[in-house]
Amino acid sequence: MTGDAIRAALVRRLRLTSNISEDDIKEIEALPISVRQFPAEMPVVRDGERATDCCLIADGFCVRSKTIANGKRQILSIHIPGEIPDLMSLFLHVMDHELSTLTPSTLGFISHETLQKLHRRAPNIAEMFWRDTLIDAAMFREWIVNVGQRPAPSRLAHVMIELRERLRIIGRVDGDHFEMPMTQEQIGEALGITAVHANRVIKQLRQEGILEFHRGRVTVLDERKFLELADFDDRYLHQSPTL
Amino acid sequence: MTGDAIRAALVRRLRLTSNISEDDIKEIEALPISVRQFPAEMPVVRDGERATDCCLIADGFCVRSKTIANGKRQILSIHIPGEIPDLMSLFLHVMDHELSTLTPSTLGFISHETLQKLHRRAPNIAEMFWRDTLIDAAMFREWIVNVGQRPAPSRLAHVMIELRERLRIIGRVDGDHFEMPMTQEQIGEALGITAVHANRVIKQLRQEGILEFHRGRVTVLDERKFLELADFDDRYLHQSPTL
DNA sequence: GCCGGGTTCCAACAAAAGTTAAGGACGCGG
DNA sequence: CCGCGTCCTTAACTTTTGTTGGAACCCGGC
């Protein structure tokens, strides 16, 4: 995959997500991007590292996570193509968490310097990116609520629906199923439960005929029960730029 | 308290937290602010509401929270004087969570319009505020880890130490004690546990001689054990603007 | 000084989640 | 086609946390 394809993925998401002008699109299409391939389960930017570039996902799934002293890991967010998962590093230079791949991924890198110049030149783009990082924060808030207040089956359903709604925007939901390429260990790390318990929860949702989960693919069998369980309100995704 | 005192509180925090120039300070000191008093436990901005101003805490403690369908509430962050807890509303106009007071508070309001104009005029200030919202997001990430991975006693110690470190910046830690004006119910909502369990945890930390907690005042009795329990690393607060 | 309401505190029991251990399925590389 | 490793699955047991309900406490207002 080339730099052009990556820029196209970014522009596509920005068109759907913000009121971007044609001039601004030209600016973004002129951005120098260096492309690199990563295998599955590979750190992209490590906790404590000093980032000099922002990373754009062209293809593949990534996660942000933090590991605490006792070795336990918490997954903070799941990222899909078109997203810039470490835009925050532009002003928070030393990473307070890790970014790593879930699947083999194609990533584009844009230097902080380039982006900073762009912001001074095109404040509209700066605001659009700022807004992007604010939506990120809104997703963290909902993640706190999920882990803090919902029972485990609801947590799983909620994370799944959030992922599905975001995949839908980039046209990657196919009928009643979508990709969620995570092991049960990783699902546990996302929900704040152990892998054994994650397995129990999946088993329960299967037995209740709500969904099927097999090798990283979710198939929703009972949409009504699924939605009810998830307690999902998409307001926090702030998808409409006009509001 | 007057608008001047509020501007002073903001400028004081910004001086300690960022590389702000004297010109920029003048800009901020010229900001029109309207002041209002709020009683304890009062919503300031409600979930779903359309915000038109940003709110600056001059005096008092506030929290951000979300309430889910079953009525359970999760506290997302605690805010202290000098902070702008809803800066994000500048670009995310409809609130996805609630901001409310913990104690009687004096709040200043700056209109979105004023701030937006200021940003175009002074991009340095815009970047400083952007950075502020990014630190906010970093604190949410740590809060996710706290609620998702740490045992309840550590969760409590961690939230306490975060609060203490931030109070220290504004000179409100007095020897071995500091203010944390929350009921056990509210502490439970912050940690993702019930009030009964919050009480059990506090009792345990008391019995172990680690701390005393009485009527919203924390007194640390065994700093070593307290730090060890909290698993606290202040990196995520990004207090040094030069890094 | 004495209510009254909100905290705090606690006990007993129930439910959810963690731990440990072990067998089975499945895909990949030789 | 076999063997190996990873992931999934389950069971039995322990620990943590939630639930319910009630008593003690404490402060502010009358």
Last residue of a domain, which of B94, B121, B144? B144
| pLDDT per position as a tens digit, B168-199 | 999 999 999 999 999 999 999 999 999 999 99
On the question of pLDDT at A130 being above 80, the answer is: yes
On whether residue A243 sits in a domain, the answer given is: no
* This prediction's pTM: 0.97
On whether residue A12 sits in a domain, the answer given is: yes
Split at pLDDT 50, 70, 90, the class of B1 is: low
Burial class (CB in 10 A: 0-12, 13-18, 19+), A151: exposed
Contact A25, A11 (CB under 8 A): yes
Q: What is the pLDDT of residue A187?
A: 98
Contact B100, B41 (CB under 8 A): yes
Q: Strand C neighbours with CB under 7 A?
A: A 151-152, 188, 192-194, 196-197, 201, 215; B 183-185, 195-196, 199, 202-203, 215
Q: What is the pLDDT of residue B227?
A: 98
On whether residue B242 sits in a domain, the answer given is: no
Q: What is the pLDDT of residue B6?
A: 85
Domain ranges, residue A39: 3-144
Interchain CB distance below 8 Å, A140 and B144: yes
CATH number at residue B79: 2.60.120.10
Residues B109 and B9 in one domain: yes
Residues B31 and B7 in one domain: yes
Interchain CB distance below 8 Å, B148 and A147: yes
Place of tokens 């010229």: B30
For residue A52, give the DSSP letter.
-
Residues B158 and B81 in one domain: no
- Mean of per-residue pLDDT scores for chain A: 95
More confident: A242 or B6: B6
On whether residue B50 sits in a domain, the answer given is: yes
Residues A30 and A50 in one domain: yes
| pLDDT per position as a tens digit, A8-56 | 889 988 988 888 999 999 999 999 999 999 999 999 999 999 999 999 9
Coil vs helix vs strand at A157: helix
Residues A35 and A140 in one domain: yes
Q: What is the pLDDT of residue A1?
A: 61
* Percentage of chain A modeled with pLDDT above 70: 99
CA distance A6 to A33: 8
B229 CB contact with strand D at below 7 Å? no
Residues A92 and A170 in one domain: no
Residues B211 and B230 in one domain: yes
| pLDDT per position as a tens digit, B117-148 | 999 999 999 999 999 999 999 999 999 999 99
Give the angle B223-B135-B8 at the CA atoms, nearest 5°.
85
Residues B200 and B218 in one domain: yes
Last residue of a domain, which of B101, B125, B144? B144
Residues B188 and B170 in one domain: yes
CA separation, residue A105 to residues A100, A209, B57 (Å):
10, 33, 44
How many Cβ atoms are within 10 Å of B68's Cβ, its own excluded?
A: 18
Contact B61, B78 (CB under 8 A): yes
CA distance B126 to A131: 12
Q: What is the pLDDT of residue B206?
A: 97
How many Cβ atoms are within 10 Å of B109's Cβ, its own excluded?
A: 17
User: How many domains are there within chain B?
Assistant: 2
On the question of pLDDT at A2 being above 80, the answer is: no
Q: Considering only the beta carbons, identify the residue of A69, A136, A191 that sits closest to B137.
A: A136
Lowest mean pLDDT of A13-17, A154-158, A213-217, A227-231, name the range. Answer: A13-17
On whether residue A124 sits in a domain, the answer given is: yes
Q: What is the pLDDT of residue B223?
A: 98
Section B139-161 average pLDDT: 98
Residues A11 and A58 in one domain: yes
On whether residue A242 sits in a domain, the answer given is: no
Last residue of a domain, which of B85, B120, B144? B144
Residue nearest to nucleotide D15 (CA to C1'): B151
The per-residue DSSP string of A190-213 comes to HHTS-HHHHHHHHHHHHHTTSEEE
CATH number at residue B160: 1.10.10.10
For residue B174, give the DSSP letter.
B
* Percentage of chain A modeled with pLDDT above 90: 91
Residues A11 and A130 in one domain: yes
List own/partner pairs for A180-185 with CB under 8 A and 24 or more apart: A180/A78, A180/A213, A180/A216, A180/A217, A180/A218, A181/A61, A181/A102, A181/A103, A181/A216, A182/A78, A182/A102, A182/A216
C-alpha B92: how far from its chain's center?
19
Coil vs helix vs strand at A114: helix
How many Cβ atoms are within 10 Å of B15's Cβ, its own excluded?
A: 11
Residues A74 and A177 in one domain: no
